[in-house]
Structure 1
Amino acid sequence: MITPYRRLAALALLAALPAAAQTYNGPESVEAHPRLKRLLVSNTGGGNVLARAEDGTLSVFTSDPSSPYGIELLAGTLFVLDSGRVKGYDIDSAAPVMNLPLTGAAFLNGITSNGLDTLYVSDFNGRRIYQVGVADLGAPTQVELTSTGTATPNGVVYDRDGNRLLIATWGSNAKVLSLDLGTPGATPQTLIQTTLGNIDGIVLDCRGTLFVAAWSGCGTAGGCLRRFDPPFAIDSPAVVVANGLANPADIDYDMRTAEITVPESGGARVSLHPSSCGRSLFIDDFER
Structure 2
Amino acid sequence: MVVCMGAGLAALSPSAVRPKPLKLTKAWETDTTLRTPESVLFDGKNTLYVANIDGKPDGLDGNGFISKVSLSGKIENLHWTSGLNAPKGMGIYKHLLYVADVYRLVAINIATGQAEKTWDAIGKGAFLNDVTVDKDGTVYVSDNRSDKLYRLKDEKWELLIDGGGLNSPNGVLATRKGELMIGSTKIGALCRLDLNTQTATPIADGMGNTDGIVSDGKGNYFVSDWNGRIFHIDADGTKEQLLDTRADKVNSADIEYVVKKKLLVVPTFYKNSLVAYKVE
TM range (shorter): 0.7 to 0.9
Q: Note if 1:175 corresponds to 2:189.
A: yes
C-alpha deviations, 1:142-197, integer Å up to 9, x for none? 2222234161111111112x7411111113x51112210233xx1433222x2221
Q: Note if 1:191 corresponds to 2:203.
A: yes
Match of 2:156 in 1: 141
Structure ranking higher in helix proportion = 1
Residue identity matched to 1:250: D
Q: Give aligned-pair identity as a percent.
A: 28
> 1:148 & 1:197 partners in 2: Cα distance?
21
Q: Note if 1:122 corresponds to 2:142.
A: yes
> 1:267 & 1:64 partners in 2: Cα distance?
22
Q: Shift in Å at residue 74 of structure 1?
A: 1.3
Match of 1:283 in 2: none
> 1:96 & 1:196 partners in 2: Cα distance?
35
TM-score, normalised by the number of residues in structure 2: 0.77
> 1:86 & 1:182 partners in 2: Cα distance?
23
Runs of at least 5 residues in structure 2 that lack an aligned partner in the other structure: 1-29, 55-62
Match of 1:41 in 2: 50
Q: Note if 1:53 corresponds to 2:70.
A: yes
Residue identity matched to 1:127: D
Contact 2:101 2:128 (C-alpha < 8 Å) held by counterparts: yes
Q: Go from structure 1 to structure 2 and tell me whether the alpha carbon gap of 1:152 and 1:210 turns closer, same or farther (over 3 Å shift).
A: same
Q: Note if 1:164 corresponds to 2:179.
A: yes
- Greater radius of gyration (CA): 1
Match of 1:243 in 2: 244
Contact 1:132 1:141 (C-alpha < 8 Å) held by counterparts: yes
The 5 A counterparts of 1:1-288 are 23-35=33-45, 37-45=46-54, 47-58=64-75, 59=77, 60-104=79-123, 106-133=126-153, 135=154, 140-146=155-161, 147-149=163-165, 151-160=167-176, 163-171=178-186, 173-183=187-197, 186-192=198-204, 194-216=205-227, 223-230=228-235, 232=236, 236-244=237-245, 246-275=250-279
Task: Give the RMSD, CA atoms, in angstroms.
Answer: 2.2
Q: Shift in Å at residue 198 of structure 1?
A: 0.6
TM-score, normalised by the number of residues in structure 1: 0.75
Give 3-state SS (helix, strand or coil) of 1:143's partner.
strand
Give 3-state SS (helix, strand or coil) of 2:270's partner.
coil
> 1:209 & 1:107 partners in 2: Cα distance?
28
Contact 2:166 2:184 (C-alpha < 8 Å) held by counterparts: no
Runs of at least 5 residues in structure 1 that lack an aligned partner in the other structure: 1-19, 217-222, 277-288
